[in-house]
Structure 1
Amino acid sequence: MKRWSSVLCLAIMAASAAQAQTLRWSSQGDPQTLDPVSQNESFTNAFNGQIYEFLVARDKTLNLVPSLATEWQRNGPLKWTFQLRRGVKFHDGRPFTADDVVFSVNRAKEKTSQISNYANALGEPKKIDDFTVEFNLPQFNPIFLEHLNTVYIMSKSWCEEHKATKPQDFTNKEETYAAHNANGTGPFMLVTRQPDVKTVLKRNPNYWGKIEGNVQDVVYTPIKSDPTRLAALISGEVDFILDPPPRDLERLRSTQGVKVIEGLENRVVFIGMDQARDELLYSDVKGKNPFKDLRVRKALYQAIDIETIKTKLMNGQAIPTGAVVPSPIGDFNDPEIERRLPYDLAAAKKLMAEAGYPDGFEVTLDCPNNRYINDERICIALASMWAQLKVKVRVNAMPKATYFPKQEKLDTSMYMLGWGGSITDPETTFTPIYRNRGDKGVGEYNRGNFKDDELDALAAASSKEADPDKRKALIKQVFLRHNAQVHHIPLHRQFIPWAARSGVSVVHRADNWMEIQWVVVK
């Protein structure tokens, strides 16, 4: 009898240990696709980053470190040479070589890739031998390694075998093998994928690197409802949530068995406006476009009571800013660039009258409802504030899976967007957002399609200036020109606290990226 009791106890202990090594986690939205360059959306990037890897990676404090490349050197201003890690295999056993690097960089340059502007900035990759790759640049790139940290490495032969040599056209709802299947070199492997339901990963038993955490299996379940997501954490149904609502943080801090992990995110949230069309798609103004008038854009800006949004809506979990860039490091913490236009309702009304809209107008504001902290609630608050200018705003809120393809088609008159990640240099904001829309991904996220040739020329010059002081001066000119023209209406940089069961240890990074290989579940 004793023998069977001992066996039973050991079995129970073994089952408990296995359960403890499963990470069950959640957030409000789902990864948009498993194709690692089809969508440049932070959560999707971070999720794919558990499966796929870069040549250079980020450590716990966002410094660049070796990954699939072990060392590199710059051979003059227009050439880089990389030595690749030997003995690495993709999840299905295929060997990793220089052919995969050249293929992946060129694949990321395709029109259906949303990181094409970053990949094109890397120049032309060339295989020297199986473990040496050379990059030849058309012009000096001041943040070459930062750009390299955006291109995931895929297996060339796997993509060819599954007819996935080009990125998924997510905007036009294309379905590809790579959108629902994955074959990376990373610490975790895909087991099953049910979009908007559940995605399961398992630890890669043949991973080339050291995995610090103890997680063996990962179950990700998107839960859109804030109360339901919180209840799942508090009850122990999930171990971790990425996006606890700010209004519930105090409750979570005092809840037994739960902890809050604080942190500021490198992310700015702002409003964009269609400044290209002669008549807005979604407005009652016919024959003209009010957003082409700087006075209207400035009036909407000055009608925003940003402190009320910060204190009442964000519960203090936001820092208002006048600069559309993810981190103040990007503008050198320059108070002139960071300064917002003052909240001044009288001045805003005066500007509207001068522009010929004393009685306002109607317009639709497109907004995601499962992407940023309080995204839909912020849009509703803005609509209420703009009503004081007699501007009647219809808030059109939708899940990000619907929202982003709509924006990519420029099917919008006014929209919310957040921009952020691990890179604090302004280049990765300027080229996709500030510049005129062009080819090779330039201006891809200029969804208002404004054209400002002076701004475009300054931003382009800052992208290739080799002298640090001259580049800093150009960067400041870009910000000041953009701010003066109110091409976007900045709101705030959001805090991004995480919440977990007390036995879960995670590393909080400012790019809101949870690296599962560092997680310990007790």
Structure 2
Amino acid sequence: MTKVKKKLAGFLTVALVAFLSLGILSGCSGGKNDEKVLTIAFPSTITTLDISDGDAATMLKEVGGVVETLVNVDSNFNLTPSLAVSWERVSETAWVFNLREGVTFHDGSDFNADAVKWCFDRQIAEDKSFSSYTKITSVDVLDTYKVQLNTSTPTGEVPEALTNVAACIIAKSSVDDQGKFIKPVGTGYFQYEDFDVSTGNSKFVTFDDYWNGKPDSSITERDILSMPDSSTRSLAVQNGEVDIATDVPFSDLATLKDNKEVKVEQFNTARTYFNTFNTKKDYLSNVEVRRGLLCAINYDEMVNGALLGVGSVPNGIFMEDVPWNNPDVASYSYNAEKAKELFDSAGFVDSDGDGMREYKGEEVKLNIVTGSRRPGNALIAQAMQGYFASVGVDAEVNVLEGTALSSAQSEGTYDLYISSAATGYVPSASYYLSQYYESTSKNAQYAGYSNGKLDTLIDQCRGLISSEEKYEVSRQAQVLAQDDAVVTTLANYGAVFAMNPKITGFSYSAAVHDFIVPYTVDIEG
């Protein structure tokens, strides 16, 4: 080859490489339809992607967008069709669901009645919470797209229960021939791509055959990073490592709001911060002592001071937007003098002049126990410690984790337990009451709490279908529960999101478990 030909060949090679490079890079920048990765911090450590695990199911449905349920719930707590198009109660213990046609799983197989039966049969066997929430004991296939769900007790709340993440639908190919879980094969707009069990991080990519069409978003991949530590999530969003983080430390809010590279949004949610008194402790078995302690709490100051305004002061057991909330229950508004009067009436007095009260001549140190997963737990506990001290009640705060926290509850070593719960985890008028107030619940059993009339009302509420009838019975139950002053709402939960300022299409629903990242979420530019 001559020198001229060699130079020409070299020039053409360079030009071709440059041309191809431009073509490849042009897919990573610019227009609306360009591919983009959305990175989200998930506030728990994911150890499996099996939907029988609560954290995994929550992440896969609400954040990953991989799996779906038969029924959805909107921001007004109304039920809406999803993989089921209609439903009907055919007996006290049976419901028939008509399934959506034309839906395929990520493996290409059909979503139908057989698929629902296989999935629910597996959940009944693998996940105790599934039967607890839904009361479903068996599934009958009536037609290709029709199933009958049979329950252990009369319940009018099967559709509500099927909005729960425990009722997500996966295909049979999610497990191997021996029934061992392999990967989540769902029906959502995103499908499984990768999972690193050592880090808990997941990768999901779009599914072209999604039954509800392509959303108006250019995101083609969602990377979900396990970040249980709130400070780590805060730094990650500030450093641009993640696009969306939730439950960041309240102490970081001022810094985050001043950062032009971060967008902060706050929402009210149906989740609550609540307390449970251990009535197995002699002094706490006295209702006047419990009411006195509640009257010693300055709720306005606690929400606007300790919680930095993230959340709101409760007006009843539920947030006001919840349609079955009863705002006309007993109020334990801040009144230090009333608290002292109640204590004195109950014989909870300072008998030795040391400034701290004793009960029946015995010294009392109120053990406040909580966990750190939710940002407000410890802040509320510390504030309450101060309020109690101001009325002569000695208290200590113990922030525990994992098995230590569970053991404190089950072994009854706590006096007052502070936690957080999603009151709309199942969007029904009886769910939250049954989980934390009903005598058969773990929370009530640990606390030694039982009220037969309350149990009857909760059970009656659970069996009704009419929303208005359910709401009325629930409101009656709330009156009894609040009067007993064993389990009470301390503050309505505030959800805080720190995001890439280029995020669009994000919306929040108070009716969800933690937060949903809608398919419409996008990144500008």
TM norm structure 2: 0.80
CA deviations on 1:384-429 (whole Å, 9 max, x unpaired) are 2223344443333244x55775478466523222222365532111
- 2:202 corresponds in structure 1 to 199
Unaligned stretches of 5+ residues in structure 2: 1-13, 350-356, 359-363
Counterpart in 1 of 2:322? 329
Equivalent of residue 117 in structure 1, options 108, 119, 132: 132
In structure 2, the residue corresponding to 1:335 is in which secondary structure? coil
Q: Does 1:508 find its partner at 2:508? A: yes
Cα distance in 2 for partners of 1:326, 1:404 equals 26
CA change 1:99–1:514 in 2 (3 A) is: same
Equivalent of 1:348 in 325, 339, 351: 339
The match for 1:130 among 129, 135, 144 is 144
Match of 1:14 among 27, 52, 56: 27
Give distance in 1, aligned partners of 2:271 and 2:92. Answer: 31
Deviation track 1:67-89 (CA, whole Å, cap 9, x = no partner) reads 22234445577654323234544
1:206-221 equivalences under 5 Å are: 206-212=209-215, 213-221=217-225
- Corresponding residue of 1:147: 161
Deviates more, 1:488-497 or 1:353-362: 353-362
Q: Which residue pairs with 2:491 in the alignment?
A: 492
Q: How far is the alpha carbon of 1:378 from its aligned partner?
A: 1.8
Between stretches 44-53 and 503-512, larger displacement belongs to 44-53
- Mapped partners of 1:321, 1:32: distance in 2: 35
Counterpart-to-counterpart distance in 2, 1:245 and 1:80? 44
Conservation of the 8 A alpha-carbon contact between 2:36 and 2:220? yes
2:233 alignment counterpart: 229
Alignment of 1:427 onto 2:433? no
Deviations 1:149-186 (A, max 9, x none): 1212234564573546xxxxxxxxxxxx47xx433332
Give the deviation of 1:63 after TM superposition.
Answer: 4.4
The 8 Å contact of residues 201 and 224 in structure 2, kept in 1 or not, is answered as yes
Cross-structure match for 1:268? 272
1:295 equivalent in structure 2 = 288
Could you say which residue in structure 2 is the equivalent of 1:377?
A: 379
**Segments of 4+ moved more than 6 angstroms:** none
SS in 2 for 1:30: coil
- What secondary structure is seen at the aligned counterpart in 2 of 1:517? coil
Query: Residue deviations 1:285-316, cap 9 Å, x none?
Result: xxx53322212221221121111111112222
Q: What displacement does 1:322 show?
A: 4.7
RMSD (CA atoms)? 3.5
Deviations 1:326-371 (A, max 9, x none): 5542434x4313x63121223323433444443252243331212x
Question: What are the superposed Cα offsets for residues 6-37 of structure 1, whole Å, 9 maximum, x if unpaired?
Answer: 43333333344799611112154334753434
* 2:300 matches 1:307: yes
Q: Counterpart amino acid of 1:336?
A: D
The code of the aligned residue for 1:376 comes to A
The structure-2 alpha-carbon separation of the partners of 1:59 and 1:352, relative to structure 1 and needing over 3 Å to count, comes to closer
Tell me, in whole angstroms, the C-alpha distance in 2 between the residues paired with 1:364 and 1:378: 14
> Structure 2 CA distance, aligned partners of 1:11 and 1:45?
31
Higher Rg of the two aligned structures: 2
Q: 2: distance between equivalents of 1:433 and 1:481?
A: 14
**Amino acid across the alignment from 1:152:** C
Given that 1:56 and 1:64 are in contact with CA atoms closer than 8 Å, whether structure 2 keeps it comes out as: yes
CA change 1:156–1:14 in 2 (3 A) is: closer
Contact persistence 1:461–1:474 (CA under 8 A) = yes
In 2, the alpha carbon distance for the partners of 1:45 and 1:407 equals 31
- The corresponding residue for 1:82 is 97
SS in 2 for 1:262: strand
Q: 1:127: Cα distance to partner? A: 0.8
2:56, 2:455 → 1: CA distance? 24
Partner SS, residue 480 of structure 2:
helix
Aligned partners of 1:326 and 1:424 also within 8 Å: no
Structure 1 partner of 2:477: 478
Give the number of equivalent residue pairs: 487
Distance in 1 (CA, whole Å) between partners of 2:255 and 2:39 is 21
Q: CA shift at 1:435, angstroms? A: 1.0
Kept in 2, the 8 Å contact 1:314–1:374? The answer is yes
Moved more, 462-471 or 403-412: 403-412
> 5+ unaligned residues in a row in structure 1: which ranges?
165-176, 278-287, 438-442
Counterpart CA distance in 2 for 1:419 and 1:45 is 20
Please list the CA deviations of residues 37-90 of structure 1 after superposition, one character each: whole Å capped at 9, or x if unmatched: 443899557557723221122457664333222344455776543232345444
In structure 1, what is the Cα distance between the partners aligned to 2:97 and 2:466? Answer: 24
Is this contact kept in 2: 1:140–1:466, CA < 8 A? no
Opposite residue 398 of structure 2, the aligned amino acid is N
Map 1:19-34 onto structure 2 (within 5 A): 21-31=36-46, 34=49
Identity in percent: 20
Contact kept, 8 Å, 1:322 with 1:491, in 2: the verdict is no
TM-score, L = length of structure 1? 0.81
Deviation at 1:491, TM superposition (A): 0.8
Taking a change above 3 Å as real, the CA distance of residues 82 and 476 of structure 1, as seen in their structure-2 partners, is closer
**Is the Cα contact below 8 Å between 1:215 and 1:516 reproduced in 2?**
no
* C-alpha distance in structure 1 between counterparts of 2:288 and 2:408, whole Å: 25
Residue aligning to 2:190: 188
Partner of 2:187, secondary structure, is coil
Q: Return the alpha-carbon distance in structure 2 between the equivalents of residues 227 and 475 of structure 1.
A: 39
Of stretches 126-135 and 58-67 in structure 1, the one that deviates more from structure 2 is 58-67
What residue number does 2:114 align with? 99
Distance 1:40 1:197 in 2: 11
Q: Alpha-carbon deviation of 1:255?
A: 2.7
8 Å contact from structure 2 (residues 273, 377) kept in 1: no
Q: Report if aligned partners of 1:186, 1:207 keep a CA contact under 8 Å in 2.
A: yes
